[in-house]
Amino acid sequence: MAAPLLALQSIRLVMGSTPLLEGADLSVGPGEKIALVGRNGSGKSTLLKIAAGTIEPDGGERFFQPGATVRYLPQEPDLSGFETTLAYVEGGLEGADDNYRAQYLLEQLGLTGTENPASLSGGEARRAALARVLAPEPDILLLDEPTNHLDLPAIEWLEGELKSLRSALVLISHDRRFLSDLTRSTVWIDRGQTRRIDQGFGMFEAWRDDFLEQEEKEQHKLARKIAAEEHWVRYGVTARRKRNVRRMDLLGGLRQQVKDYRGPQGTVKMTVAEGRSSGAMVVEAENIHKAFGERVVVDDFSTRVMRGSRVGIVGPNGAGKTTLIRMLTGEIEPDRGTVRLGTRLELAVLDQRRASLDPEATLKDVLTGGGSDTLTINGQPKHVIGYMKEFLFTPEQARTVVGKLSGGERNRVTLARALALPSNVLVLDEPTNDLDLETLDLLEEMIADYQGTVIVVSHDRDFLDKVATSIIVAEGDGDWNEYAGGYADMVVQRGAGVSARRVEKAPAAPKGKSAPAAPPQQKRKLSFKDKHALETLPKEMDGVRKQMAALQSTLDDAGLYNRDPDKFEKVTADLAAAQQKLAEMEDRWLELELMREDIEG
């Protein structure tokens, strides 16, 4: 067997007063493809940072083969100090590396190379960082959640690219399909220690479940043995106390084993508060069209969503998936066509941006609405601490402000609040972001048991295959089509997966001359004013609609013109002005929403 390129042995690390890693091992041989898995907070990212040499452990050894090259993709890459994305990617190359790969990889990932790193969105920065670690084709690739912020075309391209590389790979991801297709070994971090099987992720979960079941049986055996020894202590020790000190010591040791035993980390228990049943027809859209300027987002699309359906919506970043959802749920109106909503609808919405979470509010107040220690789930009062525990929060976190929670914790908060609302329609925009694999399992089970209708946007192919009964896919240029079944069924019917958006290539430099300087770019981030408008415009538009309804009610008085022609003229003019104002506000909101989709994908 070839000597390892990288080896970690007996790694120990304490975070505060809590041991995070206690004797963890990791060995990476040439060309190996390893999945690194474990619950959120188990230490996966920390172990990868130790492997990359960015943090030092409290104990253990790190061996690195002299001359071997390693590249590490962190969850939050730093692009500061570079004028363009191309310069950033080329900065990771060495003398013998192919400079052409830098431009090639950027184009494949939807960038031109001329972007200013200071104005990139999180998703764009992630793509540039991926190009930087892939360009040198190193001996070892350490990738921490490489599919975060990537759309389906980019995920499928990345999968193919990693398969073609000879590099060894250690991969952390919540994307089951991605892990299963790429890995051949699995390292599981559990309660501070690592366990390895020389099989890919596709075989891991059955092995893990068998391991935990066997561990539970061993604990039952230990409990029975302790009970037998305690019976002997009560009834047999009096006459033979001096002769049986060793047996008493044995009992003490067994009790200590039970005391020291750390069971598996807790699991989320997802329950959804269901409202009354909706009508049989939930949404009917006929020939709907939406455009902003010359850009068509949805063109002549029709669908009918029936009660109990699970509809998945997929497409590249910026295709308008969120806009389509908002039209289907009646939040915004199409330019043409009609959307008819069914009767008795009660919607619960999981927002992709988590924008509805007040960063200054405490976890307890977010879940209860403030001023109470209980919330109502399916008609039954439930104490907020008990509900928090179901989503893996400790009682001590009740007064923690949301802004200090991790991405995964904020996602669980949003899920917990959305599922607590009585509903018969769940609208889930990227629900799988930052969730670990076990929590994803429970989310899938919850959706399967839910009696209502689910509309979901996701880039997770395995998740869509397990929950969706139909897939609506962006075909490009505002064209959307619906296919029966999950994501894999859609690929079979369509003949291909989701297509990437076209990206114009950066102009090539004339022979013998350096590439032209990157042209000045418009800032690619929403300003504070734009963000504020995006959040406040929906309420302002509701206010204008109420004003229009009141004006229209006045005009509905058939005798108004005869009684007071001046008032009739004024009300008519006010109504026309309100209609014009609403149209302008809707255009502005759509402009900002499309901008947000494009840069925060």
Q: Please identify which residue in the block is written with the tokens 């890459």.
A: 77
- Structural contact between residues 48 and 75, judged by C-beta atoms closer than 8 angstroms: no
Q: Please identify which residue in the block is written with the tokens 């917990």.
A: 416
Determine what percent of the chain is predicted with pLDDT higher than 90.
35
- Structural contact between residues 181 and 8, judged by C-beta atoms closer than 8 angstroms: no
pLDDT for the residue numbered 150: 84
Quick: pLDDT tens for 419-468.
788 888 999 888 887 677 877 887 888 888 888 999 999 989 999 999 99
Q: Residue 551 is which amino acid?
A: L
More confident position, 506 or 303: 303
Structural tokens at position 428: 């889930």
Q: Is the pLDDT of residue 171 over 70?
A: yes
- Structural contact between residues 362 and 405, judged by C-beta atoms closer than 8 angstroms: no
Quick: pLDDT tens for 179-194.
999 999 999 998 889 9
371-377 average pLDDT score: 82
Say how many residues make up the chain.
Answer: 601
pLDDT for the residue numbered 411: 75
Quick: pLDDT tens for 264-312.
555 555 666 666 778 889 999 999 999 988 889 999 999 999 999 999 9
* CATH code assigned to 528-599: 1.10.287.380
CA distance 106 to 92: 13
Quick: pLDDT tens for 512-535.
444 444 444 444 556 666 777 777
Quick one: CA dihedral 349, 354, 356, 361, positive or negative?
positive
Q: What is the 3-state secondary structure (H, E, C) of 97-110?
A: CCCHHHHHHHHHCC
Quick: pLDDT tens for 209-221.
888 888 777 777 7
Quick: pLDDT tens for 562-583.
788 788 878 887 887 887 787 7
- Identify the three-state secondary structure at position 25: strand
CA distance 513 to 515: 7
CA distance 184 to 103: 30
Q: At what angle are helices 321-328 and 565-599 packed, to 10 degrees?
A: 140
pLDDT for the residue numbered 560: 79
Looking at the DSSP bridge assignments, the partners of residue 21 are: 13
Any residues with CB less than 8 A from the CB of 223 and at least 6 apart, and which? 258
Q: Is the pLDDT of residue 511 over 50?
A: no
Q: 15 falls in which pLDDT band (50, 70, 90)?
A: confident
Question: Which CATH number fits the domain 1-69+138-199, given the four candidates 1.10.10.60, 3.40.50.280, 3.40.50.300, 3.50.50.60?
Answer: 3.40.50.300
pLDDT for the residue numbered 481: 93
Q: Is the pLDDT of residue 598 over 90?
A: no
Q: Please identify which residue in the block is written with the tokens 């066997």.
A: 214
Domains 1-69+138-199 and 281-494 share a fold: yes
Q: Binding-site residues for ATP, please?
A: 38-45, 315-322
Q: Binding-site residues, please?
A: 38-45, 315-322
- Structural contact between residues 126 and 149, judged by C-beta atoms closer than 8 angstroms: yes
Q: 251 falls in which pLDDT band (50, 70, 90)?
A: low
Lowest-confidence region among 135-144, 428-437, 499-508 = 499-508
Any residues with CB less than 8 A from the CB of 259 and at least 6 apart, and which? none
- For residue 468, count CB atoms less than 10 angstroms from its CB and return exposed for 0-12, middle for 13-18, buried for 19 or more: buried
330-357 average pLDDT score: 82
Q: Residue 183 is which amino acid?
A: T
Structural tokens at position 176: 């089951």
The gap from C-alpha 302 to its chain's centroid, in whole angstroms, comes to 28
- Identify the three-state secondary structure at position 11: strand
CA angle in degrees (0–180, nearest 5) for 538-541-545: 140
| Domain segments of the chain as ranges | 1-69+138-199, 84-136, 218-260, 281-494, 528-599
Q: Of 362, 349, 365, 376, which is closest to residue 454 (Cα–Cα)? A: 349
Q: Please identify which residue in the block is written with the tokens 């975060």.
A: 148
Task: Give the fold, CATH level 3, of 281-494.
Answer: Rossmann fold (3.40.50)
For 350, phi and psi rounded to 5 degrees? Answer: -100, 110
More confident position, 163 or 359: 163
Helix then strand then coil, % of the chain, to nearest 5:
45, 20, 35
- Structural contact between residues 299 and 362, judged by C-beta atoms closer than 8 angstroms: no
The bridge status of strand 470-476 relative to strand 310-314 is parallel
pLDDT for the residue numbered 184: 95
Q: 480 falls in which pLDDT band (50, 70, 90)?
A: very high
What DSSP element (H or E) covers 185? strand 185-190
Lowest-confidence region among 32-41, 358-367, 368-377 = 368-377
CA distance 416 to 367: 7
Q: 410 falls in which pLDDT band (50, 70, 90)?
A: confident
Quick one: CA dihedral 64, 66, 68, 74, positive or negative?
positive
